[in-house]
Amino acid sequence: MNKQLTKNFAPGHGTCSGCGIPAIVRNILDVSEDPVVVVNATGCLEVTSTLYPYTAWKVPYIHNAFENAGATVSGIEAAYKVLEKKGKVKGKINFVVFGGDGSTYDIGLQALSGALERGHRFLYVAYDNQGYMNTGGQRSGATPYGANMTTTPAAKGDIGNELDRKDIMEIVAAHGVKYLAQANVFNIEDMRAKAKKAFETDGPSFLLVLQPCTNSWKFPVSDYVKVAKLAHDTNYWTLYEIENGQYKINQYISNPKPIEEFLKTQKRFKHLLLPENKKALEKIQRDVDFRLEKLKKKTGE
Amino acid sequence: MEKGATIKHDIKKASKTGTWRNVRPEIEVSGCIGCATCVKYCPDACISLRKRKKDEFIEGGKATENVAEIGYEFCKGCGVCAEVCPVKTISMKKE
């Protein structure tokens, strides 16, 4: 057991073999120099880390329902402010929310929006595995076009999920948040640097981390880093940050690979590689290029 | 339910996820360059760095100061370490 990395989050949790979520949690908590309080919305991380009577968390931790992680962290932060004023708590405490894409894009969006609007000081980390994975792989607002999920099966000529992934970064940015960033689990150094900046922000901050799901994206358990890297190399998941309204792309890809390279590693996209679905494949490539161009314009470069 | 509904972390109560494993990662220490790539990606934080022992030096090999060491108590045998190892010195062996 690695002592430094298990300082805040211990093993003995039941995440699937080859899941990247624990690496995200450990590295983000490891960055914080001050004590942390963790709020966790329902999701893979919650159900696997808190199997009664065991808890993998060594830091103060509160679990709440899918929809109110934002509201819970607001209350905790407000209570901290009052206690600090009365002199009952000393020193800075960081507040971190971990939520999946289900609790960020869909169910918890309203509470998150409220918390961002009120300007509480907390970091919201969304690990994005593009669906409701702990309940069997239903489609969420983060599921990309063409994915074969249990609620959007690709059969009898259907393409799978017919809707596009929603741009949560833009939704959060519209609240005037001072720091938000898109990170990827394969680039842990970049993720740690972003978490550090987020902890230093006075006010809400947001971190969206891509987390390939071995179970529902359907790839071998040893490959989460490889798949995440391909998402980066094909420009499917660009690493960028928005600091005080300024967009910045952290890493440019000079020779991006075609999107097929990323899609063919996962069985959820298997049907897209059939000759009759060529148009869908072209659409996905077009969308990737379009999103990157849009982002480049915003950086002003 | 415990009073106040708070539960304290106690590693003794943890389920030994090492029992999930059907393949185990093994490090060929003489080839390890101590880069710690496997350390940061391991989902169960099973891998740590330790000082290289004197008899683990090999001629012509890269004799770095540290090498990786795997603890098997919680290792689920996913094989991420073997996949990310830049010098391919970790191999998966059947249990």
What stretches of chain A adopt beta strand conformation (E)?
36-41, 61-64, 94-100, 123-128, 179-184, 205-210, 240-243, 246-249
- Output the pLDDT for position A155: 84
Residue A41's closest CA among A136, A141, A110, A144?
A: A110
Please tell me which of the candidates B7, B8, B20 has its beta carbon nearest to residue A17. B20
CB-CB neighbors (< 8 A) of A23 in chain B: 40-43
pLDDT given for residue A98 in this prediction: 97
Residue A134, SS3 per DSSP: coil
The Cα B86–Cα B91 span in angstroms is 12
Percentage of chain A exceeding pLDDT 70: 100
How many Å lie between the alpha carbon of A278 and the closest alpha carbon of chain B? 31
Terminal alpha carbon distance of chain A = 45
- pLDDT score of B68 more than 60: yes
User: What is the spatial distance between Cα A4 and Cα A69, in angstroms, rounded to a whole number?
Assistant: 28
DSSP category for residue A236: S
Mutate to test the interface with A, among B11, B47, B91, B95 (most CBs of A within 10 A): B11
Task: Check whether A229 has a pLDDT greater than 70.
Answer: yes
Instruction: Report CB contact under 8 Å: B74, A11.
Output: yes
What is the SS3 assignment for A75? helix
* Predicted pLDDT of residue B31: 86
The answer to whether A222 contacts B11, with C-beta atoms less than 8 Å apart, is no
The pLDDT, as a whole number, for residue A1 is 83
Overall average pLDDT of the A194-221 stretch: 96
Quick one: pLDDT at residue A157?
Answer: 79
The pLDDT of residue B1: 52
Res. A142 pLDDT band, cuts 50 70 90: very high
Whether A253 and chain B come into contact, CB under 8 Å, resolves to: no
With a cut of 70, say whether residue B58 has pLDDT above it: no
Average pLDDT, chain B: 88
CB-based contact (8 Å) between A7 and chain B?
no
Mean pLDDT of all residues in chain A?
A: 95
Quickly state the pLDDT bin for A100 (edges 50, 70, 90). Answer: very high
Share of chain A above pLDDT 90, in %: 94
Instruction: With cut-offs at 50, 70 and 90, classify the pLDDT of residue A156.
Output: confident
* Residues B56-72, mean pLDDT to the nearest whole number: 78
Check CB contact under 8 Å for A52 and B7. Answer: yes
Q: Which pLDDT does position B65 carry in this prediction?
A: 85
Mean pLDDT throughout B59-71? 79
B36 touches chain A (CB under 8 A): no
Q: How near does any CA of chain A get to the CA of B71, in Å?
A: 6
Distance from CA of A230 to the nearest CA of B (A): 14
pLDDT value at B2 more than 60: no
Cα–Cα dist A276/A158, whole Å: 11
Q: Which two tokens stand for residue A236?
A: 């499917």
* pLDDT one-digit tens code per residue, A77-99: 999 999 999 999 999 999 999 99
Domain ranges of chain B: 26-94
What chain A residue is nearest to B25 in terms of C-alpha separation? Answer: A222
Spatial contact of A5 and B39, defined as CB atoms under 8 Å apart = yes
CA-closest candidate to residue A163, choices A172, A151, A181: A151
Q: Given this model, what pLDDT does residue B6 score?
A: 81
Predicted confidence (pLDDT) at residue A270 exceeds the cutoff of 70: yes
Cβ(A248)–Cβ(A240) under 8 Å? yes
Domain B26-94 is in which class?
alpha beta
- Alpha-carbon gap, residue A298 to A147, rounded angstroms: 28
pLDDT in tens, A3-45: 889 999 999 999 999 999 999 999 999 999 999 999 999 999 9
Nearest to B47 by CA among A44, A23, A127: A23
Q: How far is A62 from B9, CA to CA, in rounded Å?
A: 13
Give me the amino acid identity at A123.
L
Contact A10 B41 (CB under 8 A): no
Dist. CA A75–CA A206, nearest whole Å? 18
Map out the domains of chain A with their CATH numbers.
21-299 (3.40.50.970)
Per-residue confidence (pLDDT) for residue B62, from 0 to 100: 62
What is the complex's ipTM, to 2 decimals? 0.90
Residue found by looking up tokens 């983060």 in the block: A142
Residue A179 pLDDT: 97
pLDDT band for B3, please (50, 70, 90 cuts).
low
The answer to whether residue B35 neighbours chain A at the CB level (below 8 Å) is no
Residue A53: CA count within 13 A, CB half-sphere: 7
Decide: A39 and A72 in contact? Cβ < 8 Å: yes
B42 touches chain A (CB under 8 A): yes
- Closest partner CB to A18 (pick from B9, B45, B80): B80
Instruction: For residue A83, give Cα distances in angstroms to A92, A93, A97, A116, B6.
Output: 12, 12, 21, 22, 21
Question: Which of A28-37, A257-266, B62-71 comes out lowest in average pLDDT?
Answer: B62-71
For chain B, report the end-to-end CA distance as a whole number of angstroms. Answer: 38
Strand bridging mode A205-210 / A179-184: parallel
In contact, B91 and B55? CB cutoff 8 Å: no
A18 CB near a chain B CB, below 8 Å?
Answer: yes
Q: Cα distance from B55 to chain A (closest Cα, Å)?
A: 24
